[in-house]
Amino acid sequence: MSVVTIERKVLEKNDAFAAENRRRLAEARLFAINVVSSPGAGKTSLLEHTIQRLDGRLRISVVEGDVQTDLDAQRVARYGAPVVQIVTNGGCHLEAKLVQDALARLDLAATDLLVIENVGNLVCPANYDLGEAMKVVLLSTTEGDDKPLKYPAMFRNASVLVVNKIDLLPYVPCDVDTLVGNARTINPALRVFQVSCTTGAGLDDWCTWLAAQVTALRA
């Protein structure tokens, strides 16, 4: 019982900071997504291609979360997007207060789209609201088609599923229809994109959708 009580208090405190973040982002009229995945699924690669393709259309700022190093932030910075690195020093997820501190270092008035790249983990980030408009869960075909069933909370709390590395489908034991079907048994409302950051397949649809969300928010 004490463990449940402690967890509830931690989440309540986080949710309070998340509400402050959401209010601040709403005032700035920007669209924020929290991108989550297991390690190596391709979050940073997707972000790099997104920044490239939306250059001149959307002003994108980035919050990078990693257990150690600022390597991903360095990759993103090469494309000209403002980026703040959060190093959790072993923490398995970002928390709303960490994101709040990062927001203070970004020019939100000069941002249309905020991308929060969470720590690579399909478990803990599912429970932590950061103040984002939507969670986007990224899954690569190399992980198999059963991951939604193994990590249901993440897919239940997400609004979008991006299936990456579809160029590898001929070589890996993954059936995309099964993967998507498994995800939608948990969350029937999931919007799904199938992409390859290697060939570029599906990335235009993903970027067009992102731009439409920003336009709808500002309308």
Residue 5 has pLDDT above 60, yes or no: no
Q: How much of the chain, in percent, has pLDDT values that exceed 70?
A: 96
Q: Which residue, 164, 160, 205, is CA-closest to 184?
A: 160
| 3-state DSSP of 138-205 | EEEHHHCCCHHHHCHHHHHHCCEEEEECHHHHHHCCCCHHHHHHHHHHHCCCCEEEECCCCCCCCHHH
CA dist 173 and 24 (Å) reads 44
In a 3-state reduction of DSSP, which class is residue 39? coil
Give the confidence band of 72 by pLDDT, cuts at 50, 70, 90. confident
Q: Could you identify the residue written with the tokens 């939306």? A: 54
Residues 6+ apart with CB under 8 A from 10: none
Question: What pLDDT, on a 0 to 100 scale, did the predictor assign at position 6?
Answer: 44
Rounded to two decimals, the pTM is 0.93
Phi, psi (5° rounding) for residue 159?
-105, -25
Question: What pLDDT, on a 0 to 100 scale, did the predictor assign at position 7?
Answer: 52
Domains of the chain and any CATH numbers: 2-218 (3.40.50.300)
